[in-house]
Chain A
Amino acid sequence: MAARAPGANADRPDVPALKVGAGATAITATTHLDRTLAIVFVIAALALPFILDALGAGYYLSLASRIVIYAIAATSLNLVLGYAGLVSFGHAAFVGLGAYATGILVSEGVVGSGWHLLATVAVTGLAALTIGAISLRTRGVYFIMITLAFAQMLFYLANSVKGYGGDEGLNIKARSVLGFGAFAIDLKNPLALWYVAVAVLGASLLALARFGPSRLGRAVLVLRDDDVRAEALGFPTYRLKLLVFVVAGVLGGVAGALSVNLQGYVSPNVLHWTQSGTLMVMVILGGVATVWGGLVGAATLLLLQEVLAAYTEHWEFWTGWVLLAVVLFARQGLVGLLGSARRSVAERR
């Protein structure tokens, strides 16, 4: 990987170059770790509801669903932040747009999931295209600030529309319904929601795993580390970045649509910058530019919160220290930590 700080530009030396973890390498080949995690994932996805029920812990299925939905959002951010090196501080905007698009349709009586999907993709796709087209003309810290600015604008807009709740939020009574007639699956059923969510997550992870080693994926990785070289090699850098940005935005929107189905409620807080920050923390915690980073990060953060909260009301305090420890001692995130642990075990044999 090039030694020059990514985002640096020979003719714009005054623009502070954005440093995106020179140590983060994309796992471009399927490793032993990947295969193990994949098997665990499939088993957990299918069996978790039954396991929880047997343990009398059925309540925790909604926590598990929340983890999966956050994992989808975090994975989508990982695509744009980790793989493409675009530090978007406004990703929560797309999650929020998906949630509102779906929520508003349900509150107006439209429950067909086909409509919801169409609206989510259209709205978030258009937003990502617009925001991306403008923001990608900037670099470094200015890119961060511009994406943040757009997200904040959407946040305040959501606050201003009193007709759909404004800052009080929007409550919906119904949920998305997949299919028709006898084959209708109502996402009000927690089991149905769980399977749909893990299916979406599974598909996203699979797509990401295929994307990394593909031609497109390698091109994106090159331009993450060195714009100038990428352009010199003839890559259409702007269009590639925009493509990744839009795809990530749409996937984030889908996560939002699922989240409003889980909660039955959406408020402008979903678009707040602290939500974007939380997603970023999940990605960095899990492992930037890794397939499993989003899921590992989301699961770790939310489970930490839940477990610690049972023992102490100061769970935020301890969560902060854990995050700090990861930053200081596990530079490649938890996935990197797992990977190196396996490697050192293997080496010792």
Chain B
Amino acid sequence: MSGVLLIEQALNGLQFGLMLFLLAAGLTLVFGVMDMINLAHGSLYMVGAFLAAWLVGLTGSFVLSVLGAVALTGMFGMALEAGLLRTLYARDHLSQVLATFALILILNDGVKMVFGTDLPLSAPAALAGPVELFPGFQYPAYRLLILGVGLALAVALYLLVQKTRMGALVRAGASNRPMATAMGVNIRALFTLVFGIGAALCAVAGALLGPLLAVQVGMGENILILAFVVIVIGGIGSIRGALVGSILVGCIDTLGRTGLQQVFREFLPPQWASAAGPAIASVAVYVFMAAVLAFRPQGLFPARS
């Protein structure tokens, strides 16, 4: 692989990883703090994307639409938590699986009823072209935006969790909930807020990835499972773990699929090489997770003391 190709693929992997982080961050907080398996997390990502696409149709402004989608999805998430999901905290994980699975069905069809099966969403015209990062290497401007937003949010989340009082409460709740409750923390409000933030982060990812992928019903299902893998690798309840985990997974997946394809092309017909490369790269992600579970079962940066 030439140097330029390697750099470009590394940037692609980083971009994918950062978007994955936005989903994983919300998921790890919900699972870590509220001990709830939420299969509908990917549906919030989908709702965010649809809202952004719809708002762009209304307002014509990409920036306003993304902000609007984030706000609306955050509020939707909080309403969902207060209205329904709160009753599931006390229930066993199996019931949570069933309930959130039901939620996936309801949201998939609900979105279809309101918006249709898919909506077009384009990158803003100003970012539709390439940027010359250094002579001989051009990279799409839009993907640079995604990288920028992803990094900024990662830093912001880190500061929020490590440096603010709210963040301290969240960390306390994640590492030892009974103690946190005993210390008088308003758990209910905290949970609602955490869920809302998670939903808002999903919306950012959905809105930003919409122009690259497609805004369609069911778009959250594939990325959801990767988010779960990331939080297991990183450590349930840990934002730092989610960040490291998602970048690792993003890079293994992106660099793996092209690297392996090139290797396979040496001795397999192109159709087989093209099928095997991405497949084995995906397998590698799961093998990596299994390895982490074998040697460091709590994840790379465990939240619990």
Q: Do A and B bind each other?
A: yes
**Interface residues, chain A, with chain B CB atoms under 8 Å away:** 14-16, 18-22, 81, 87, 134, 138, 141-142, 144-146, 148-150, 152-153, 156-157, 159-163, 166-167, 273-274, 277, 280-281, 284-285, 288, 314, 316-317, 319-321, 323-324, 326-328, 331
Can you report 19 residue pairs joining A to B where beta carbons are below 8 Å apart? A19-B91, A19-B94, A20-B92, A87-B94, A134-B290, A145-B232, A152-B286, A156-B280, A156-B286, A162-B272, A280-B97, A284-B98, A316-B109, A317-B109, A317-B113, A323-B102, A323-B105, A324-B99, A327-B91
- Binary interface encoding of chain B residues 262-305 relative to chain A, with 1 for a CB under 8 A from any of its CBs, else 0: 00000000011001100110110011011001000110001010
With contacts A14-B298, A317-B110, A327-B95 known, is A145 near B102, CB below 8 A? Answer: no
With contacts A16-B35, A277-B101, A331-B95 known, is A316 near B275, CB below 8 A? Answer: no
A328 touches B275 (CB 8 A): no
Which chain B positions have C-beta within 8 A of A163?
Answer: 272
B280 touches A146 (CB 8 A): no
Q: How far is the CB of A36 from chain B (nearest CB, A)?
A: 26
B93 touches A314 (CB 8 A): no
Residue in A18, A149, A324 whose beta carbon sits within 8 Å of that of B290 in the complex: A149
Residue in A16, A144, A285, A320 whose beta carbon sits within 8 Å of that of B106 in the complex: A320
8 Å CB interface, B82-118 against A: 84, 87, 91-95, 97-99, 101-106, 108-110, 112-113
> Please, how many angstroms separate the alpha-carbon atoms of A331 and B225 in the complex?
27
Which chain A positions have C-beta within 8 A of B62?
Answer: none
> Please, how many angstroms separate the alpha-carbon atoms of A321 and B39 in the complex?
16
Which chain B positions have C-beta within 8 A of A327?
Answer: 91, 95, 98-99, 102
A21 touches B293 (CB 8 A): no
- Of B35, B94, B112, the most chain A CB neighbours within 10 A belong to B94
Q: How far is the CB of B236 from chain A (nearest CB, A)?
A: 7
B279 touches A21 (CB 8 A): no
> Please, how many angstroms separate the alpha-carbon atoms of A320 and B108 in the complex?
10
Which chain A positions have C-beta within 8 A of B81?
Answer: none
With contacts A156-B283, A314-B112, A323-B105 known, is A145 near B98, CB below 8 A? Answer: no
Which chain A positions have C-beta within 8 A of B272?
Answer: 162-163
A328 touches B110 (CB 8 A): no
B282 touches A316 (CB 8 A): no
Which chain B positions have C-beta within 8 A of A328?
Answer: 87, 99
With contacts A152-B282, A280-B97 known, is A145 near B229, CB below 8 A? Answer: yes
Bin chain B's interface residue count.
35 or more
**Interface residues, chain B, with chain A CB atoms under 8 Å away:** 31, 35, 37, 39, 84, 87, 91-95, 97-99, 101-106, 108-110, 112-113, 221, 225, 228-229, 232, 236, 271-272, 275-276, 279-280, 282-283, 286-287, 289-290, 293, 297-298, 302, 304
> Please, how many angstroms separate the alpha-carbon atoms of A247 and B173 in the complex?
40
B297 touches A160 (CB 8 A): no
B102 touches A284 (CB 8 A): no
A273 touches B95 (CB 8 A): no
Residue in B102, B290, B302 whose beta carbon sits within 8 Å of that of A320 in the complex: B102
A153 touches B286 (CB 8 A): yes
> Please, how many angstroms separate the alpha-carbon atoms of A64 and B232 in the complex?
40
B94 touches A21 (CB 8 A): yes
- Of A21, A148, A320, the most chain B CB neighbours within 10 A belong to A320
A162 touches B271 (CB 8 A): yes
Which chain B positions have C-beta within 8 A of A285?
Answer: 98
Q: How far is the CB of B177 from chain A (nearest CB, A)?
A: 11
> Please, how many angstroms separate the alpha-carbon atoms of A320 and B112 in the complex?
14
Which chain A positions have C-beta within 8 A of B95?
Answer: 21, 284, 327, 331
> Please, how many angstroms separate the alpha-carbon atoms of A288 and B286 in the complex?
29
Which chain B positions have C-beta within 8 A of A21?
Answer: 92, 94-95
Which chain B positions have C-beta within 8 A of A323?
Answer: 98-99, 101-102, 105
Grouping DSSP codes into helix (H, G, I), strand (E, B) and loop, the B interface class, with mixed when no group exceeds half, is helix
A146 touches B293 (CB 8 A): yes
> Please, how many angstroms separate the alpha-carbon atoms of A158 and B108 in the complex?
27
Which chain A positions have C-beta within 8 A of B97?
Answer: 277, 280-281, 284
With contacts A160-B275, A317-B109, A323-B105 known, is A20 near B225, CB below 8 A? Answer: no
A138 touches B293 (CB 8 A): yes
- Closest residue of chain A to B175, judged by CB? A14
Which chain B positions have C-beta within 8 A of A153?
Answer: 283, 286-287
> Please, how many angstroms separate the alpha-carbon atoms of A188 and B224 in the complex?
39
Q: How far is the CB of B243 from chain A (nearest CB, A)?
A: 19
Which chain A positions have C-beta within 8 A of B104?
Answer: 320
B98 touches A281 (CB 8 A): yes
Which chain A positions have C-beta within 8 A of B279?
Answer: 156-157, 159-160
> Please, how many angstroms separate the alpha-carbon atoms of A328 and B103 in the complex?
13
A320 touches B105 (CB 8 A): yes
With contacts A138-B293, A142-B232, A167-B275 known, is A288 near B103, CB below 8 A? Answer: no
- Closest residue of chain A to B304, judged by CB? A14
> Please, how many angstroms separate the alpha-carbon atoms of A146 and B31 in the complex?
17
Given A142-B297, A328-B87, output 20 extra A-B contacts at Cβ < 8 Å: A14-B298, A19-B91, A145-B289, A149-B229, A149-B286, A149-B289, A149-B290, A153-B283, A156-B279, A156-B280, A160-B275, A162-B272, A162-B276, A284-B97, A285-B98, A314-B109, A314-B112, A317-B110, A323-B101, A324-B106
A274 touches B275 (CB 8 A): no
Which chain B positions have C-beta within 8 A of A162?
Answer: 271-272, 275-276
With contacts A152-B282, A317-B110, A327-B98 known, is A145 near B293, CB below 8 A? Answer: yes
Residue in B105, B221, B287 whose beta carbon sits within 8 Å of that of A319 in the complex: B105
Q: How far is the CB of A322 from chain B (nearest CB, A)?
A: 8
Residue in A87, A160, A274, A288 whose beta carbon sits within 8 Å of that of B280 in the complex: A160
With contacts A19-B93, A162-B271 known, is A316 near B105, CB below 8 A? Answer: yes
A166 touches B275 (CB 8 A): yes
Which chain A positions have C-beta within 8 A of B99?
Answer: 323-324, 327-328
With contacts A14-B298, A138-B293, A148-B225 known, is A314 near B113, CB below 8 A? Answer: yes
A324 touches B276 (CB 8 A): no
